[in-house]
Amino acid sequence: MTEFAINLDESFETLAKAPIVEAVIYIQTSLDEPIVEHSLQQAMSGKFGNGYHFAGSQREVQFQATVTPPQPPNQSFRDLGWKGLRFQSIDKKYIVQFNRDGFGLSRLEPYETWEKFSDEALRLWNGYAEFTKPTQVTRLGLRYINSIQLPPNELQFGEYVSVGPSTPESLNFSVSGFMHQDAVVVPNYSYAINIIKTLQRPPDLSIGLNLILDIDTFSTVPLSVHRSKIKNHLAEMRWLKNKVFFDTVTEKSLERFR
User: What CA–CA distance (Å, rounded) separates 50 from 42?
Assistant: 14
Cβ(139)–Cβ(28) below 8 Å:
yes
Beta bridge partners of 53: 88
Q: Is 3 exposed, middle or buried (CB count within 10 Å of its CB: 0-12, 13-18, 19+)?
A: exposed
Instruction: Yes or no: say if 258 and 246 are a contact pair by the CB < 8 Å rule.
Output: no
- Whether the predicted pLDDT of 190 surpasses 90: yes
Give the start-to-end residue ranges of the domains of the chain. 20-257
SS3 for the chain is: CCCCCCCCCCCCCCCCCCCEEEEEEEEEEECCCCCCHHHHHHHHHHHHCCCEEEEEEEEEEEEEEECCCCCCCEEEEEEEEEEEEEEEECCCCEEEEEECCEEEEEEECCCCCHHHHHHHHHHHHHHHHHHHCCCEEEEEEEEEEEEEECCCCCCCHHHCECCCCCCCCCCCCCCCCCEEEEEEECCCCCEEEEEEEEEECCCCHHHCCEEEEEEEEEECCCECCCHHHHHHHHHHHHHHHHHHHHHHECHHHHHHHC
Label residue 35 by pLDDT band (50, 70, 90).
confident
The angle that helices 227-248 and 114-132 make with each other, rounded to 10 degrees, is: 140
- Angle 164-257-178 (CA atoms, 0-180°, nearest 5)? 20
pLDDT of 21 strictly over 90: yes
What pLDDT does residue 31 have?
Answer: 87
- Which pTM was predicted? 0.87
64: confidence class by pLDDT, cuts 50, 70, 90: low
Split at pLDDT 50, 70, 90, the class of 168 is low
pLDDT confidence of 58, banded at 50, 70, 90?
confident
Residue 171: predicted pLDDT: 58
Amino acid 82: pLDDT: 73
> Mean pLDDT score of the chain, rounded to an integer?
87
